[in-house]
Amino acid sequence: MALPVAFFALFFAWPVAAIVARGLKVDGAWQFGRIADVVMQPDIRHVLWFTTWQALASTALTLVLALPAAYVFARLDFPGKQLLRAVVTVPFVLPTVVAGSAFLALVGHGGLLDQLWGVRLDTTVWAILTAHVFFNYAVVVRTVGGLWAQLDPRQEEAARMLGASPVRAWRKVTLPALAPAVAAAALMVFLFTFTSFGVVQILGGPTFSTLEVEIYRQTSEVFDLSTAAVLTLVQFVAVGAILVVHAWTVRRRESALRLVAPESTARRPRGAGQWVLFAGVLVTVALLLVLPLAVLVRRSLDAPGLGYYRALTNADGGTFLVAPVHAVWTSLQYAVAATAIALVIGGLAAAALARRDAGRLVRGFDALLMLPLGVSAVTVGFGFLIALDKPPLDLRQSWFLVPLAQALVGAPFVVRTMLPVLRAVDGRLREAAAVLGASPWRVWREVDLPLVRRALLVAAGFAFAVSLGEFGATVFIARPDSPTLPVAVARLLSRPGDLNYGQAMALSTILMVVCAAALLLLERLRIDRTGEF
């Protein structure tokens, strides 16, 4: 546990503590009244209200549209089910910048709606809400569908035989059993939308701003670090409360999963109702998930002869110090380095947590590992700027700062993927190898590694995809001569002109293809047969 604890203390706890000190400490004295002063400002209250309101609206809309799909994947069996599952999951692993760019190509200036009907929906709340549904659709489908597939359908059939209508049987039998999973999915979606940055930054324009966007604006545009630090503290408290409630609902959900094998509950669609529902889900997936990505690809091909892609090789001297195409190579390098760090940190933490003799303190560290997933990425990037600015850890000019920030987000995925497999390894195998004279390193290499190799590959794939698309922290700390793909897309979109817009679409397409390829590889290596992340 020594290295994981040191890593999270140094690159997570310390930056967050530095933010708290910057926001509440003035001339060496704590100023707790500063929080009230900032929060009571009319423009800040508007940001807080919009952040909460849009998160609630996005969560409700996602549940309404995704719950039917959760039923289809849980209860219906049809050709191409695994392919459709991968299509549904692609938006979740895409960077938020790509999601914003896809909807900008659909509803923005010169987008599909603008060309067909002269309608523009960018810089409107509906564009933001729809993009959030696009991004979080898979969260509900996977989380609720995973449990739904394990519910014994005979319970609902028994209620029907006793005279209950289909609606009443579902409301009295199925819904109470699904409630923990629905609550967990809703809290997860609320958390993602409450801390939304890339989508709101691209689609919201100057009209709409969440806490994440306001923290970024106060830091990079207004240069009011004190206000940004207070807002960061407010968001940290809110996210902490959400994570506590989420942990409680997950514990409730885990107690409800001792049911039937998921493969035994899926049947071919029967009756007009199931066929209509199945068709409706296919139409929703096509319009909500596939269409924006297809329009994104088409807009990247608008210039004759792949002109936008060829333009990526030219440095214009304005937006970048290097040609935009260098962002592809830079992102891949950063993602590989971040994946290696996440595998080492997450793998060691998972190995320690998997030990049956692990103490209470070690088990408590498991919950702390999840904090980087919930805490604002903008907060992490901002914290790096103000905490890692003095010797012996003055890393502001180091390229290694970006992979460190990305690894913070990737390490929890590694832990969550490897921990169940490591716990399932029979300890007697290790003991037998040790009795036969194997060293601890050889025991790991000969016993554990062959059993967890597939989980290790899945964890590496998740960490790579997450690192490749990380935007909130990277936008603070990426050097001007080494932008990542998400940062390059955001910079191109911020500049006027069809060439900049087309290059942003081309880079977004490249990023989408790389992330989708990583996801398809994950689907082939997936070890969780319940279909959950």
Residue 473's SS3 state is coil
> Which pLDDT value is given to residue 117?
77
Residue 60 scores a pLDDT above 90? yes
The pLDDT of 223-251, averaged and rounded, is 76
18 pLDDT band (50/70/90 cuts)? Answer: confident
Burial class (CB in 10 A: 0-12, 13-18, 19+), 297: middle
**% of the chain residues with pLDDT over 70:** 89
pLDDT at residue 529 in the model: 42
pLDDT tens for each residue of 407-457: 998 888 888 778 777 777 777 777 888 888 888 888 877 877 777 777 788
- pLDDT at position 206, please? 75
What is d(CA 131, CA 315) in angstroms, rounded to the nearest whole number?
31
| Phi, psi (rounded to 5 degrees) for 267 | -135, 160
Q: Tell me the pLDDT band of 259, cut-offs 50, 70 and 90.
A: very low
Please check the confidence at residue 50 and state whether its pLDDT lies above 90: yes
**Non-local CB neighbours of 419 within 8 Å, separated by 6+ positions:** 350, 353, 354, 366
pLDDT at 29 over 90: no
Query: 71 near 140, Cβ under 8 Å?
Result: no
pLDDT of 366 over the 50 cut: yes
pLDDT (mean) for 474-481: 83
Grade residue 113 by pLDDT with cuts at 50, 70 and 90.
confident
More confident residue, 34 or 383: 383
* Segment 85-94 mean pLDDT: 81
Give CA–CA dist 504/470, Å, rounded: 16
Based on DSSP, count helices (H) and strands (E) in the chain, helices before strands: 28, 4
What is the average per-residue pLDDT within 314-331?
77
Q: Give the pLDDT score at 374.
A: 64
Tokens at residue 400, please? 């290694």
Lowest mean pLDDT among 38-52, 311-325, 356-370, 378-392: 356-370
Q: Are 65 and 284 in contact (CB under 8 A)?
A: yes
pLDDT of residue 360: 65
Flag the least confident range among 194-198, 268-272, 448-452: 448-452
Percent composition of the chain: helix, strand, coil (DSSP 3-state, to 5): 75, 0, 25
Host H or E run for residue 130: helix 125-148
User: Cα(330)–Cα(343) distance, rounded to whole angstroms?
Assistant: 20
Q: Tell me what pLDDT residue 527 has.
A: 43
Mean of pLDDT values over 354-379: 70
pTM above 0.85, yes or no: no
Query: How does the average pLDDT of the chain come out, rounded?
Result: 81
Give 1's DSSP letter.
Answer: -
Return the pLDDT at 280.
94
Judge whether residue 256 has pLDDT over 70: no
Whole-number Cα distances in Å, 415 to 343, 359, 370, 445? 9, 17, 9, 19
| Predicted local distance difference test score (pLDDT) of residue 339 | 93
In the structure, what pLDDT confidence band is assigned to residue 363 with cuts at 50, 70 and 90?
low
**Among 288, 289, 308, CA closest to 298:** 308
Confidence of residue 131 (pLDDT cuts 50, 70, 90): very high
DSSP string, 174-221: IHHHHHHHHHHHHHHHHHHHHT--HHHHHHSTTT---HHHHHHHHHHT
Taking alpha carbons only, the member of 317, 300, 303 closest to residue 495 is 317
pLDDT bin (cut points 50, 70, 90) of residue 470 is: confident
Cα dihedral 94/387/217/201 (nearest 10): 0
| pLDDT (0 to 100) of residue 530 | 40
**Could you give the angle at which helices 211-220 and 42-75 cross, rounded to 10 degrees?**
130
Does an H or E element contain 296, and which?
helix 291-300
